[in-house]
Structure 1
Amino acid sequence: MTTTTTTETETQFAQQLFDAYQTQHALTMADFAAVVSDEDAAYRVQAQLTALKNQPVGGYKVSLTSAETQKMFAAHAPLYGAQVADHFLAAPTTVCRGQLMDPLVEVELVFKAKENLAASDSLTDLWHKTTVAPGLELPDSRFADWFPDLPKNLVVADAAVGGLVVYGTEHDTDQQFASVEDVATPHCKLSHDGEELKTGVASEVLGNPLKSLHWLVGKLAEQGKTLTAGQRVSSGTFVLPPHLTAGHWQADFDHDLGSVQLAVTND
Structure 2
Amino acid sequence: MTTTTTETETQVAQQLFTAYQTHHALKMTDFTSSVADEDAAYRVQAALTALKQETVGGYKVSLTSAETQKMFDAHTPLYGAQVADHFLAAPATVRRGQLMDPLVEVELVFKAREDLLATDSLTDLWHKTTVAPGLELPDSRFTDWFPDLPKNLVVADAAVGGLVVYGTEQATDKLFASVDAVAAPKCTLVHDGKTVKTGQASEVLGNPLKSLQWLVGKLAAQGKTLTAGQRVSSGTFVLPPHLTVGHWRADFDAGLGQVALNVTES
Q: TM-score range by the shorter chain?
A: over 0.9
- Residue 94 (1) aligns with residue 93 (2): yes
* 1:202 equivalent in alignment to 2:212: no
Aligned partner letter, 2:177 = A
Deviation at 1:151, TM superposition (A): 0.1
Is 1:17 aligned to 2:13, yes or no? no
User: How much does 1:111 deviate?
Assistant: 0.1
Q: In the TM superposition, what is the alpha-carbon distance from 1:262 to its structure 2 partner?
A: 0.2
Alignment partner, residue 124 of structure 2: 125
Q: Which amino acid aligns with 2:36?
A: S
- The secondary structure found in structure 1 opposite 2:213 is helix
What secondary structure does 1:80 align onto? strand
Q: Which runs of 4+ in 1 moved over 2 A?
A: none
1:138-153 to 2 correspondence within 5 Å? Answer: 138-153=137-152
Matched, 1:80 2:79: yes
Alignment map for 1:1-267 (pairs within 5 Å)? 2-267=1-266
After superposition, give the CA deviation of every residue in 1:99-152 in whole Å (9 maximum; x if it has no partner): 000000000000000000000000000000000000000000000000000000
Partner SS state of residue 261, structure 1: strand
1:10-65 deviations in Å (ceiling 9; x for gaps) = 00000000000000000000000100110000000000000000000000000000
Distance in 1 (alpha carbons) for counterparts of 2:92 and 2:200: 24
Report the secondary structure of 1:61's partner residue.
strand
C-alpha distance in 2 between matches for 1:163 and 1:130: 23
Q: CA deviation at 1:180?
A: 0.2
Superposed CA RMSD in Å reads 0.2
How many angstroms does 1:198 deviate by? 0.2
Deviation at 1:236, TM superposition (A): 0.0
Identity within the alignment, % = 82
Q: CA deviation at 1:228?
A: 0.1
Mapped to 2, the partners of 1:18 and 1:39 lie a distance apart of 19
What letter is aligned with 2:108?
L
Q: For 1:189, give the aligned amino acid.
A: T
| Matching residue's letter, 2:210 | K
Distance in 1 of aligned mates of 2:183 and 2:195: 22
SS in 1 for 2:189: strand
The whole-number CA distance in structure 2 between the counterparts of 1:9 and 1:148 is 25
Letter in 2 for 1:23: T
Distance 1:31 1:248 in 2: 36
Provide the C-alpha distance between the structure 2 equivalents of 1:147 and 1:36, rounded to a whole number of angstroms.
18
Code of the residue aligned with 1:35 in structure 2: it is S
Aligned length: 266
Residue 93 (structure 1) shift: 0.8
**Structure 2 counterpart of 1:152, one-letter code:** K
Q: Deviations over 1:70-102 (max 9, x none)?
A: 000000000000000000000001000000000
* SS of aligned partner of 2:224: coil
In structure 2, the gaps of 5 or more residues are none
2: CA distance between counterparts of 1:37 and 1:6? 12
Task: For 1:78 and 1:173, locate their aligned partners in 2 and report how far apart those are by CA, in whole Å.
Answer: 22
Secondary structure of residue in 1 paired with 2:47: helix
